[in-house]
Each structure stands twice: as structure tokens, then as C-alpha cells.
Chains A and B, each alone.
Chain A
Amino acid sequence: MHTDHQYIEALRHNDPKGIRSIYERYAVEALKWVKNNNGTADDARDVFQEAVSILFEKAQNPNFVLTCPVGALLYTLYSRRWIDHLRTKKREYTVRLVEETRYNQETTSDVLSIAEVAEEEAVEQRRIAQAFAQLSEVCRRLFALLAEGIAPKEAASQLEMNSVDTLYRRKNACATRWRELLG
């Protein structure tokens, strides 16, 4: 376990102070790097937030243990996203890379493999979210109420359903539709 695993614990428990410390320590570097590569402060904010979001999803797996510096992992995630963005825009700019001597030694295969797995998992989460967004409002409310820990009887009442049986029948239909949308 790397000492930076504390940041994973902060993300895992949604600790606002711990999450803030990630920004305090690594946001300026991200801003600097994106600005040096034809980006703006808004661009840097967006790719950094995406990188932290990917780590957040990874951290929700209680079995995940960080074995590399979190700064190197964040750099890999946000730099890739920015370069992909530039290539998507088909810009003719040259990509200017700051001398990252600090990360040259730390961007090991460990970092790259963790980053790749984390990105794949994030893509899967986005797919699930996009499919969920296409469900009816009733389905979305139903799932949200149950996920928040609302008792089925209370959820049925809020959704103006006659009984818990009705709630679960509707839930099963919503789940079927959600699976269809996932393909």
C-alpha cells in the first residue's frame, strides 16, 4: 500500500477535507500542464475533475488498494483526457510537454495499468448512467428512493402506488427496461 492511499480513503468516504487536500496538492500542476498545452483554466478544471471522478469510482471498490503515487495516477488520467480532447478537435497545434522529470520515474507500468482499468470502469459507469437517464421519471424516482434507504412501504406511498407488491412489480419492469437500454 502506498502512503497516498489516504486519498483513496478520503474519496471512499466522501470526506470533503480529504478531497480538498487532493485539489490543494495537485490542481496547480494540472492547471500548469493544460495551460502549457493550449488549454484554459476551464479546460484544466474539467479534465482534472474527470480524473478525480475516475478515482472516486475506483475508490468505491472496498478492495482497491493504491500501490502508486496518486499524483502520477492523476497526471496520467488528466493528461490523457486532454490529449484525446485535442486530437478529437483535430487541432493542428503541437503538443508541448513540460519536462516532467518528477513523473518520468514514477509513471511505471503499475500506474499505467491502474489508470487503464480505472478508465474502463469509468466508461462502464457512464454507460450505466446514460441508460438510467433514458428511463421514465417514475422508474428513476423509484430506484432513487430505494437506493436512499427509503422503506418500500414509504416509497410506494410517495410514488402513489397501492402496495409494496405494485412497487416491486414496477421496479422489475424498470430493471428490465434498464437492462435493455444497456444492450
Chain B
Amino acid sequence: MEEQDYLLIDNFFDGLLSETARQEVLQRVDKEPTFAAAFATTQKMQEWLRREPRRKVFEQTTAALGQSFFTEEKEENLATKSVKTIPVNNPVMGSRPGGLMKRGNIWAIAAAIALLVAAVWFVMRPQPPLYQQFALHTPPQFTERSGAFTAATTAETSFKKGDYATALTALQQLAQQRPDDPTVAFYSGVCQLELQQTNAARAVFTTLANGVSVWREEAQWYVALTYLRENDLEKCKQVLGTIQPDAERYKSAVRLLKKL
């Protein structure tokens, strides 16, 4: 493979070749194994690059979900199940006489002690405030690339970094170009909530909750979060009680109500 072969392949993927030249490249892929291998490698590189922005959003989403779903509380709620032991290194476990020291009883006692220790540890450990436990925000993703590009990118990147002040400024600029976009409104509300501008945030979420956009149910949950942020637990409970069982946030609402 010569350097101009790699250049040809790169130009192919950059869309810089004429149709005739493109067809010549594809013919070489069919006929020349070495050229085909280099083509395949470059194709994989291009695909990886193309997916990278989406992968970053995905990783943020799953990181937040992981924090929410794999908690000590979830461990606490696990029921004890019967288990089958399969030794990895074939340890010798001789049979024992009957009575209290049977193998099954030893495991049951050990499991009970472990559960007791875990329960004591769980109760004694310091808990983060309720708001921090439940205010887990999925980062925004604005896909349009037009004149609103810069504000959208600034809003996305600042939000992901937790710089809600900069994100809010960018979202307000974006709102001038997209005054009816409920996604822009929703994330403006989230930024205001994080900046403790709870009245303004609640106004945004209440409008969305009373509307017909895809954010309607989520906004209802966030109205509850605004009261939680203010430590107005009674109003928070009232709003949580209005979340319907078929709503996506219903389980979160039930969990939060138990803690209030």
C-alpha cells in the first residue's frame, strides 16, 4: 500500500472524489485484499467517529441511571433467595454429621449475619439530601445544526458540565429562535431549578404539565422537585400524589413519597 492509496481511501470517505473515482475505489476493494483491509479499517474509524457524539450522550444517560438504580436502598430491598453453590476451584468440602452444624445451616447463619451487618451499615451511613438523590437530569440533545447551532451546542456542553448559568443563558438565546420548542423550555426550567430560581422553574414546569407536549408527565415530576428543593414537603407530597400509575415517573414518585 502506497501513501496515495490511503489518501484515496480518506478522500473517498470525505466525499471528495468524483463518482468515477468512487467506483474505481470500490472496484479495488473487490479485487485487492490489502486495499480492502485498509478500506475496512478506515470505515470502522469513520463509524466510530460518527457514533462518538451519540456515545457521549448515551454514557451520560447510563451514568445517571446507574447512580439511580444501583443504590444501597435497592440492595436493602433484595429478598433472600435460595442459592446453589458451584465451586470454582473444586474445594474439598467433606460431609459433616447431622444437627445444627449441617452445611445448609452454616450458610443460613452466615447469610443472616451478613444481612444484619449490611442493615446496620445501611442505617448508620450518612445519606445525601433527598433533592440530590432524586434530581437526576438526563442531558439535552439538540440535533438541529442551523443558525441556532452555537447556542444549542453551548447549552448542551454547559449543561453536561453542570454549568447551569451558562446553559440557561444559551437556552434563553435559543428560545428566541425557537419560542414554541417545549424541549428548550423544559431544560430552561431544569437550569432555573438547579440555580434555585424555584418560582421561575415551577412556572415553566406547570405550563408544560398542563400542555400536550412529550414533556407533560416529566414536567409534573419536576413541579414536585421544585417544592422538594424549597423543602416544602407538604406541597411536594400533594404534587407527587397526582402522578398517574401509568406515568414513567410513578415509581420514582412512590419511592420519594415513602421517604417524605
Contacts and interface: CB of A to CB of B under 8 A. Distances in A.
Contacts of A80: none
A16 B138 contact: yes
A174 to B, nearest CB: 10
Contact of A95 (B42, B86, B251): B86
B53 A24 contact: no
Given A14-B61, A176-B6, A31 B78 contact: yes
Contacts of B74: 27-28, 31, 41
A75 interface: no
B70 A96 contact: no
Interface in A110-165: 124-125, 128-129, 132, 143-144, 146-149
B45 A175 contact: yes
B250 to A, nearest CB: 11
Instruction: Give the size range of B's interface with the partner.
Output: 35 or more
Interface stretch (A1-9, A42-50, A65-73): A42-50
Interface of A: 11, 14, 16-17, 19-20, 23-24, 27-28, 31-32, 35-36, 41-42, 44-46, 48-49, 52-53, 56-57, 60, 86-87, 92-99, 124-125, 128-129, 132, 143-144, 146-149, 168, 171-172, 175-176, 178-179, 182
B57 A128 contact: no
A31 B53 contact: no
B58 A19 contact: yes
A79 B180 CA distance: 46
Interface string B76-93: 001001111111110100
Contact of A17 (B141, B248, B251): B248
B81 A48 contact: no
A179 B42 contact: yes
Nearest to A57: B51
Given A14-B61, A41-B75, A179-B41, 8 more contacts: A19-B65, A23-B66, A36-B83, A53-B58, A95-B86, A95-B88, A175-B45, A179-B45
Interface in B77-120: 78, 81-89, 91
Given A35-B78, A41-B75, A147-B52, A52 B45 contact: no
B145 A179 contact: no
